[in-house]
């Protein structure tokens, strides 16, 4: 089953211009606020009309500007879960779920609703109204309603935005089970890179209406290509850079040279990026008989801590390379370490040694 999208739509500040094909997989869609993520979902669902283009789902044409074809939303068999869940307040949970399938005979409709109530862990809540439900219960009810029509594609717009951290974690697990059983094209819009990575098999990064990256999540994360995609996928450390060899860059803002491996550095690379959790501390890494001296010193520099911020599980270190910082705002890069590693590091005399492994150094275009 395949979803094919090729659309353009003029918006206030830019034109949404998106083209992709998605088979039976979960696609996490990342982008800054106002990048066009929600408009993309609404266009696929039939709630908005693109200016031009074509949308097909399982060989059914849902939209074709050349033919003047626009299948109404109610006929598309596309399930959508809105950010605010959009449950009908004066209908019970069961009535909300049944709302999408009014064409079914009464007995079949009741059977469908009961099955979804059980599947969504809403047993005992089916006669209650949305206002008496918790955020997690509302989310599960809205997802059950979206699945009632047996959709051929499922669209979710920031489904966890209104939930606290504990509930978000529990519902992510439930959603993973839903996706595993669903096996049809699923689009998940989120601002959270970790959420997109955990739930999605593929990633799309939108910037001002254009697809900046699309593909398997590991590939997009490891090789984002541009500084915009790296930033939107969570990278915090950037420096202007100059290509000095096919496999080496000079990080101008960090005052150091870095080897990159692989691939060969593109000629248009203007920046270098290193993710905070990939920064290594060689003095904490046990050496083995096969450890190469070059691997210990390559891309390795003295560093001092300008400041640090702790959470219960992780610590962010703000590091100044080459010399001691002048104040707590004088730093080059951020490193993220576990509390365990922080306890092993914090009493060591400065300078510490930090390493940017060549395979973790990203050459980036503007």
Q: What is the tens place of the pLDDT at every residue in 210-232? A: 999 999 999 999 999 999 999 99
Q: How confident is residue 290, by pLDDT bands cut at 50, 70 and 90?
A: very low
pTM of the model: 0.87
Which pLDDT score is estimated for 173? 81
E-only strand ranges, 139-277: 153-157, 186-189, 202-207, 210-216, 237-245, 248-251, 256-259, 271-274
The domain tally of the chain equals 2
Q: What is the mean pLDDT of residues 92-99?
A: 90
The yes-or-no verdict on residue 183 having pLDDT over 60 is yes
- How many CA atoms does the CB half-sphere of 214 hold within 13 Å? 12
CATH classification of the domain holding 314:
2.40.50.100
Instruction: Round to whole Å and give the CA distance between 32 and 331.
Output: 26
Query: What is the tens place of the pLDDT at every residue in 15-32?
Result: 999 999 999 999 999 999
Which pLDDT score is estimated for 289? 44
Instruction: Tell me if 64 is assigned to some domain.
Output: yes
> pLDDT above 90 covers what percent of the chain?
67
Instruction: Tell me if 365 is assigned to some domain.
Output: no
Query: What is the tens place of the pLDDT at every residue in 228-261?
Result: 999 999 999 999 999 999 999 999 999 999 999 8
The yes-or-no verdict on residue 174 having pLDDT over 80 is no
| 37 and 169 part of one domain | yes
Q: Domain end: 206, 222, 238, which one?
A: 222
Q: Domain end: 222, 255, 287, which one?
A: 222
Q: Domain end: 181, 204, 222, which one?
A: 222
Instruction: Tell me if 261 is assigned to some domain.
Output: no
Instruction: Round to whole Å and give the CA distance between 158 and 178.
Output: 16
Q: How confident is residue 56, by pLDDT bands cut at 50, 70 and 90?
A: very high
Range of the domain at 328: 277-357
Region of residue 359 (phi > 0: left; psi between -120 and 50: alpha; otherwise: beta): alpha
Question: The tokens of 228 are what?
Answer: 């915009």
The size of the chain, in residues, is 366
């Amino acid at each position: 089953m395949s979803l094919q999208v090729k659309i353009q739509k003029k918006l206030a500040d830019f034109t949404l211009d998106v083209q992709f094909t998605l088979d039976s997989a979960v696609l996490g869609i990342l982008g800054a606020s106002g990048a066009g993520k929600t408009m993309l979902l609404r266009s696929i669902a039939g709630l908005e009309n693109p200016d031009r283009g074509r949308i097909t789902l399982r060989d059914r044409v849902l939209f074709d500007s050349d033919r003047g074809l626009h299948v109404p939303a109610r006929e598309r068999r596309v399930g959508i879960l809105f950010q605010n869940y959009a449950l009908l307040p004066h209908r019970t949970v069961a009535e909300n779920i049944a709302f999408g399938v009014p064409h079914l005979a009464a007995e079949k409709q009741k059977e469908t609703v009961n099955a979804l109530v059980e599947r969504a862990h809403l047993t005992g809540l089916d006669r209650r109204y949305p206002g008496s439900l918790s955020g997690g219960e509302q989310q599960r009810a809205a997802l059950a309603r979206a699945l009632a029509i047996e959709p051929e594609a499922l669209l979710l717009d920031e489904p966890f935005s209104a939930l606290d951290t504990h509930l978000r974690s529990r519902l992510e697990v439930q959603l993973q089970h839903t996706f595993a059983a669903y096996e049809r094209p699923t689009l998940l819009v989120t601002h959270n890179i970790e959420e997109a990575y955990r739930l999605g098999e593929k990633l799309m990064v939108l910037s001002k209406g254009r697809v900046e990256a699309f593909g398997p999540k590991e590939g997009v994360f490891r090789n984002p290509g541009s500084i915009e995609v790296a930033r939107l996928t969570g990278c915090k450390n950037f420096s202007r850079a100059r290509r000095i060899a096919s496999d080496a860059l000079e990080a101008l803002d960090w005052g150091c040279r870095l080897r990159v491996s692989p691939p060969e550095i593109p000629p248009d690379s203007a920046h270098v990026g290193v993710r905070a959790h990939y920064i290594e501390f060689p003095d904490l890494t046990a050496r083995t008989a096969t450890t190469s001296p070059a691997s210990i010193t390559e891309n390795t520099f003295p560093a001092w801590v300008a400041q640090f911020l702790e959470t219960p599980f992780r610590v962010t270190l703000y590091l100044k390379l080459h010399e001691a910082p002048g104040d707590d705002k004088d730093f080059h890069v951020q490193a993220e370490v576990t509390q365990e590693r922080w306890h092993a590091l914090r009493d060591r005399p400065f300078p510490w040694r930090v390493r940017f492994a060549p395979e973790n150094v990203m050459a980036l275009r503007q």
